[in-house]
Structure 1
Amino acid sequence: MSSPATSNDREKVVSKLPGWLRQNLKIRAAQHGIEIQTAVEQGISDWCGLASATATVDTAGADSFSTFLPPGQWEAFRQVVADRRVSLIQGLAQSIQLWLDTNPAPDVERPEVTRRIIVCNQKGGVGKTAITAGLGEALAEEPNALHAVQIAKALAKALRASDTSSEDEQASDPLEIESLPGLGLRVLLVDFDPQCHLTNQLGASPLPMNGDSLTNHMAGDPKGDLRDLVVSIDDEHFNGRLHLLPACNDAFLLDVRLSAVRAREAALERALEPLEADYDVILVDCPPSLGLSMDAASYYGRRRDGERPGQSGALIVVQAEDSSADAYDLLTSQIDDLRDDLKIEVDYLGIVVNLYDSRRGYIATSSLQGWVDIKDPRVVGLIGDRKEQKEAVRMKQPLLSYAPKSQQAIGMRALAREIA
């Protein structure tokens, strides 16, 4: 049946479709960046142009499905269906399956050079570990499924919010979201902090002090292959794309051991470079330190020959309060000094304002405005202070598998796309 509607000079049509086929259509249309109605229109047109019907599609459990088509296409389609002696539902299912078959899922776009992102701030307690984990999870999510993402204009709207807006208005303002396919990248999370927070939060075990570790490899005293230390995180949700290099408490001694190493600023790169071919992105959760380990991390995130600006670099995590600003100045001074001393380029990928809650009043809102006013680096993420992250940590599960529809998860996906 059809009924008149005004949607770009199209008419609304209503039929039935099995749920699995409707979901496949929704995902594939999003992967190709087109509207569902455009995909259905193309499928019907191609199916009608065939000499005969295609293979029968299982339509058991079909329920209501509606879309908008060009005027006259539905009636012409009904005539072809009748001529081929198949049901209307079967004809529509074959048309959509034909479109899916001729428009396969696009390949995941992989960087030519493994991206290296150091997540840092000299101040502890700002949530670097949570951002490292959440960003890595968002980069590794399933590309053949749809996930809720905070759209860019919603982030921009939040960042434009003035400190004069009422707390109730900000608290009740709903997120504007859309459903997008996962990015499907191969991601390695490196726990570079001797406190082992990232390791513990993701349910892995810190490496034993008497065994091998990243510290040993950086100090030139490896006890095996670094690959043997890598563990996979939640294969059920990330299908083997998300890995972790756990930390060891021996990293407390890293600066002392690096002091005796030649070209110590390149020690992290020498250790991790053999792993790079296995990953699209390597995220390093840096310690709250301004020592030699931070120099090594900054050097690792430098722009390499042939690499585009903004592919690798430093992602700085802050909170909307004054002490974060002091720590930010210390960190950027150290990175800038390293750039000048070694004549290298270390790109700032942006600032993530974490654990934000406008209900905390003027300190929070005015501090947020201060971060926005910096402009370079710009604010690329605004992550709210919500209970789901704390619960995920308690449960030792990735946030995006524990609470995939939470506001924090939605914000992490937005962050991943801002720096992708």
Structure 2
Amino acid sequence: MDMSSGFERDTSAPVGRAAQQAVEAMTRAGEGLPRPEQTRVMVVANQKGGVGKTTTTVNLAASLALHGARVLVIDLDPQGNASTALGIDHHSEVASIYDVLVDSKPLSGVVQPVPDIEGLFCAPATIDLAGAEIELVSLVARESRLERAISAYEQPLDYVLIDCPPSLGLLTVNALVAGAEVVIPIQCEYYALEGLGQLLRNVELVRGHLNPHLHVSTIILTMYDGRTRLASQVADEVRSHFGKEVLRTNIPRSVRISEAPSYGQTVLTYDPGSSGSLSYLEAAREIALRDPLAAQDQSAQQHGTEGTQ
């Protein structure tokens, strides 16, 4: 994929202008964010439902776009919640990621621009995707169909964020083969780490057999309520377990974040000045400033050490 050179934004739409003002308020004291040398493909996954996976995908994507990046969201969840939250039409007749995976349609034939946020695009999910797990079984190179589609996409992109279904089937495997970085949202509530072991084992399996570049680059704590002792205990436990992979920024429990998707918006355009919006902007900034290659090397060293024990 080619990389573009421009970062100029069209903020003529009122919501886009308001969101851009929020970005500028945060960055007046500093410089703009660096663009990655090559496209960063990030898989947002957690098979435990209700952890803010889709919410995190769309709001991080919108934040990165508002910071000046070109970002593609790939909706791999048959429910299509990411598509809905981005205001993207995804009724059954719309060309979607299903056509890419099952019928080898070029990704460029399904990508739609997201309203009000320049530089943000979405490959939507339709209900047809619910049957894709079964249909993929008989196809050649079934695990790498998404990776090949992304590689063939010729429009310049800085980031690709893939919203996975809450399961560990062939759709999620396609995402893990396509990406280098895994982003795991963890809810700051009881049983937060439940089921995480299976996801991490699957990441290691895919890493060992299908995608040696795959690694967990980012853990993001969601639904954080600073008024409760439980939230801080969960945050401390996650930080002690995962260390530097955990973002410093916690995403707060927020009515605004919850309301935004029902209006076909991210929180960035729904309420640009809210705590939820500012938190996602800061989380995106952290991610953009990280060195993905350094994190990958560290993960490889840990993997090698474990293999020799």
What interval of TM-score do these two structures reach, taking the shorter chain for normalisation?
A: 0.7 to 0.9
Q: Structure 1 residue 343: deviation in Å?
A: 6.1
Q: Structure 1 residue 213: deviation in Å?
A: 2.6
Aligned to 1:206: 90
Aligned to 1:196: 80
Give me the whole-angstrom Cα distance separating, in 2, the residues matched to 1:135 and 1:331: 21
After superposition, give the CA deviation of every residue in 1:6-57 in whole Å (9 maximum; x if it has no partner).
Answer: xxxxxxxxxxxxxxxxxxxxx7xx67948xxxxxxxxxxxxxxxxxxxxxxx
Spell out the pairing of 1:361-400 with structure 2 (5 A cutoff). Answer: 361-376=228-243, 378-380=245-247, 381-400=249-268
Q: Structure 1 residue 271: deviation in Å?
A: 2.2
In structure 2, list runs of 5 or more residues that go unmatched: 1-23, 289-309
Residue 118 (structure 1) aligned with residue 118 (structure 2):
no
Which deviates further from its counterpart, 257-266 or 283-292? 257-266
In structure 1, list runs of 5 or more residues that go unmatched: 1-26, 35-105, 142-182, 303-312
The question of whether the paired residues in 1 share the 8 Å contact of 2:96 and 2:123 is answered with: no
Does the C-alpha gap of structure 1 residues 130 and 343 become closer, same or farther in structure 2, counting only changes over 3 Å?
closer
Q: Structure 1 residue 263: deviation in Å?
A: 2.2
Of Structure 1 and Structure 2, the greater strand share is in: 1
Q: Structure 1 residue 369: deviation in Å?
A: 1.3
Aligned to 2:203: 335
Spell out the pairing of 1:13-412 with structure 2 (5 A cutoff). Answer: 33=30, 109-141=34-66, 183-208=67-92, 212-219=95-102, 221-222=103-104, 225-235=106-116, 238=117, 240-275=118-153, 277-302=155-180, 313-342=181-210, 344-359=212-227, 361-376=228-243, 378-380=245-247, 381-412=249-280
Q: Which secondary structure state, in structure 1, belongs to the residue aligned with residue 35 of structure 2?
A: coil
> What is the identity percentage for the equivalent residue pairs of Structure 1 and Structure 2?
32
Which amino acid letter does the alignment assign opposite residue 213 of structure 1?
S
CA RMSD of aligned residues (A): 2.3
Q: Structure 1 residue 290: deviation in Å?
A: 0.7
Q: Structure 1 residue 326: deviation in Å?
A: 1.6
The question of whether the paired residues in 1 share the 8 Å contact of 2:76 and 2:125 is answered with: yes
The question of whether the paired residues in 2 share the 8 Å contact of 1:298 and 1:346 is answered with: yes
Give me the whole-angstrom Cα distance separating, in 1, the residues matched to 2:52 and 2:86: 14
After superposition, give the CA deviation of every residue in 1:112-152 in whole Å (9 maximum; x if it has no partner).
Answer: 321101111011111111111111111111xxxxxxxxxxx
Q: Which secondary structure state, in structure 1, belongs to the residue aligned with residue 47 of structure 2?
A: coil
The question of whether the paired residues in 2 share the 8 Å contact of 1:114 and 1:276 is answered with: no
Which amino acid letter does the alignment assign opposite residue 373 of structure 1?
S
Which amino acid letter does the alignment assign opposite residue 368 of structure 1?
A
After superposition, give the CA deviation of every residue in 1:213-248 in whole Å (9 maximum; x if it has no partner).
Answer: 3123212x24x543232222233xx3x311111111
Q: Which secondary structure state, in structure 2, belongs to the residue aligned with residue 358 of structure 1?
A: coil
Which amino acid letter does the alignment assign opposite residue 196 of structure 1?
G
Which amino acid letter does the alignment assign opposite residue 227 of structure 1?
S
Give me the whole-angstrom Cα distance separating, in 2, the residues matched to 1:371 and 1:356: 13
Does the C-alpha gap of structure 1 residues 397 and 211 become closer, same or farther in structure 2, counting only changes over 3 Å?
closer
Give me the whole-angstrom Cα distance separating, in 1, the residues matched to 2:106 and 2:141: 22
Q: Which structure ranks higher in relative contact order (CA pairs < 8 Å, sequence separation ≥ 6)?
A: 2
Q: Which secondary structure state, in structure 1, belongs to the residue aligned with residue 121 of structure 2?
A: strand
Which deviates further from its counterpart, 406-415 or 387-396? 387-396
Aligned to 1:18: none
The question of whether the paired residues in 1 share the 8 Å contact of 2:95 and 2:109 is answered with: no
TM-score normalised by L of structure 1: 0.58
Does the C-alpha gap of structure 1 residues 384 and 343 become closer, same or farther in structure 2, counting only changes over 3 Å?
closer
Q: Structure 1 residue 199: deviation in Å?
A: 1.1
Give me the whole-angstrom Cα distance separating, in 1, the residues matched to 2:164 and 2:244: 19
Which amino acid letter does the alignment assign opposite residue 167 of structure 2?
S
Does the C-alpha gap of structure 1 residues 232 and 353 become closer, same or farther in structure 2, counting only changes over 3 Å?
same
Does the C-alpha gap of structure 1 residues 317 and 292 become closer, same or farther in structure 2, counting only changes over 3 Å?
same
Q: Structure 1 residue 251: deviation in Å?
A: 1.3
Give me the whole-angstrom Cα distance separating, in 2, the residues matched to 1:402 and 1:213: 25
Which amino acid letter does the alignment assign opposite residue 126 of structure 1?
V
TM-score normalised by L of structure 2: 0.78
Which amino acid letter does the alignment assign opposite residue 414 of structure 1?
E
Q: State the structure with more CA Rg.
A: 1
Give me the whole-angstrom Cα distance separating, in 1, the residues matched to 2:51 and 2:58: 14
Q: Structure 1 residue 203: deviation in Å?
A: 2.1
Give me the whole-angstrom Cα distance separating, in 1, the residues matched to 2:231 and 2:152: 43
Give me the whole-angstrom Cα distance separating, in 2, the residues matched to 1:367 and 1:134: 23
Give me the whole-angstrom Cα distance separating, in 1, the residues matched to 2:274 and 2:211: 43
Give me the whole-angstrom Cα distance separating, in 1, the residues matched to 2:190 and 2:212: 30
Q: Which secondary structure state, in structure 2, belongs to the residue aligned with residue 401 of structure 1?
A: helix
Does the C-alpha gap of structure 1 residues 415 and 195 become closer, same or farther in structure 2, counting only changes over 3 Å?
same
